[in-house]
Structure 1
Amino acid sequence: MANSQLTTYTGKSFNRQSAKSALIEGESQIVATYANKPKAFDCCGYSITLQTVEEYLSSQQERLHEVLYRTLIYANGKSIAEIGVAFGSCLLPLTKKYKFEVTGYEIAENIPVYCSSLTENKVEVLPLNLYDNEPTPKVHDFLIFSEVLEHLFIDVNTVLERLSKFVRKDGHLLITTPNTYRAGNILRMLRGYNANERHPKLPQYNHNTVVDGRVHPREYTLFEIIHAIEESQEWKLVWYSTLPLKPPKTRSVIEKIKMAIVKHIFRFPLGTFIFCVAQRV
């Protein structure tokens, strides 16, 4: 299937390789946008510079490629939205190359920080706070919700219910989130180390309340996400996996042997990222 030529809802041909090329082309534009931007801080206190952007795009390229590829496969309508836009990595090729109508949703304070490439290309980015549970301004055919869930302080079942308001009946939702049951975490715990992310040195405040989103308050297992989707009244599970599907080439032989042993013993999906596609019912 990797080299098979497929067709998007908008009539554009694609395969894995062409989707990756489109992603890289969009990332080049993002880097150019941030080349002359001064340092900025997001609502959680992260410093965003050109170096930050380049490091993020490089480290997350495999995940972003899979997000784009799966979106092209499952999008069964022209309107695609993303909550938490990740500099516009996926929305840019979706609108520029594949001609979808795209919308971004981002925390209001973060729009000037993360959405410059989108606004330069006249992509609508709307302010959103999932905690507020306000009526949605639009309903879409497909919703990308990638690497957001782990930052939220509300239960996954509540999140799925709130996301359902953004998607029309028979439309689709793509969720990705870090897999707490990933092989690296298991190895870390077997050696006596804590798998949880360290807290930052100093908290981030909003008035007198700590609102720090720089760490993940909860990471999920694949089976938790599957169970939450199957338990919901709004969604039907369509596809799931964990990534990376193959170990990075940079891993040493010893690391690869350790990973193979862990996978043989535990026999669970141990990839770094959980991927699930669900259909609105």
Structure 2
Amino acid sequence: MRAFGSEDFARAFEQVVLAGRWQEEPRYYPRYQSRYEAVLHRFAALAPGEPVDVLEVGGGQLAAMARHLWSDRATVADITDACFPTLAEQGIETFRFNLALDESGGDRRFDVILLSEVIEHLPVPGHVALRRLRAMLRPGGHLICTTPNLYRLRNVVYLALGRPIFDHFDTPGDRGCGHVLEYSAEHLRWQIERAGFADIELELREFAHVPHRRTDRLLMRVGKPLLRVPRFRDNLLATAVAP
């Protein structure tokens, strides 16, 4: 376990994430700052005090912050190289990896793998991708995964209004997909177990953010009391161990 402070996180987030050039448009990152903080807080609780080998699949911001905060040996894998120049400037190793298609990321082995808001973009069963990641972890290594909750209030409202909640599902290709699949807590746990992980812990979490659409912001305010019920919260936060 290592020290984690909200003030230290906020400074690092400004220096590393907000000042960088990444895949999403710049307004995306401050909107979802609370999710980044929750993931790194959990990472700090699981990781030992000394630096570790950490891989982030997708994004790269979490790995960059782990390097900045704790001097971890960070690596980032992604289906595109959009974030690679920013990561190279920070001395972070990168490689192309299509988690929906590639059987292996090579001979690399890691102590922690971060998979945040990625699994819902993969048009393959979750356990297929997760098994590939398990093979890249050292025995006793940790997976930390976040993904939208299928039963989140936003989806309930969208279904009631006849609005689509998923993007079109297609066979895996060489480009990323939209949200082609979302998981309930029970379904995600099953996928992680099927992939061969142990010591699975899963929480329903609400990461504060402000929706883009005015109508969605209104619905969020009206429905806020329902978020006391875990089933309706926005996100799943799962951790698991490679046996």
Moved more, 129-138 or 174-183: 129-138
2:11 maps to 21
The answer to whether the 8 Å contact 1:82/1:104 transfers is: yes
Given the superposition, is the C-alpha separation of residues 120 and 275 from structure 1 closer, same or farther in structure 2, using an over 3 Å criterion?
same
Greater C-alpha radius of gyration: 1
2:231 maps to 269
**Structure 1 residue runs without a partner (length 5+):** 1-6, 35-47, 204-208
CA distance in 2 between partners of 1:121 and 1:252 (Å) = 36
**Structure 2 residue runs without a partner (length 5+):** none
The answer to whether the 8 Å contact 1:188/1:194 transfers is: yes
CA distance in 2 between partners of 1:24 and 1:216 (Å) = 28
Residue 156 (1) aligns with residue 126 (2): yes
Give 1:275's aligned amino acid: L
Match of 2:223 among 247, 258, 263: 258
Match of 1:114 among 83, 86, 89: 83
CA distance in 1 between partners of 2:114 and 2:134 (Å) = 12
Given the superposition, is the C-alpha separation of residues 92 and 62 from structure 1 closer, same or farther in structure 2, using an over 3 Å criterion?
same
Q: Structure 1, residues 149-185: CA drift from partner, whole Å, max 9, x if none?
A: 1111110121221110111111100111111211111
The answer to whether the 8 Å contact 2:74/2:93 transfers is: yes
The answer to whether the 8 Å contact 1:115/1:125 transfers is: yes
1:18-167 aligned at under 5 Å gives the runs 18-31=8-21, 52-76=24-48, 78-84=52-58, 86=59, 88-107=60-79, 110-111=80-81, 113-130=82-99, 131-134=101-104, 136-167=106-137
Residue 185 (1) aligns with residue 185 (2): no
Given the superposition, is the C-alpha separation of residues 217 and 95 from structure 1 closer, same or farther in structure 2, using an over 3 Å criterion?
same
The answer to whether the 8 Å contact 2:189/2:202 transfers is: no
Question: TM-score scaled by structure 1?
Answer: 0.73
Detail structure 1 runs of 4+ shifted over 4 Å in the superposition: 209-212, 246-255
- Give aligned-pair identity as a percent: 21
Moved more, 227-236 or 250-259: 250-259
1:168 maps to 138
Question: TM-score scaled by structure 2?
Answer: 0.83
CA distance in 2 between partners of 1:127 and 1:247 (Å) = 30
Residue 236 (1) aligns with residue 199 (2): yes
Indicate the RMSD between aligned Cα atoms, in angstroms: 2.9
* CA drift at 1:62: 1.6
Q: Structure 1, residues 33-55: CA drift from partner, whole Å, max 9, x if none?
A: x7xxxxxxxxxxxxx6xxx4312
* Number of aligned residue pairs: 235
The answer to whether the 8 Å contact 1:238/1:278 transfers is: yes
Residue 279 (1) aligns with residue 237 (2): no
1:198-237 aligned at under 5 Å gives the runs 213-237=176-200
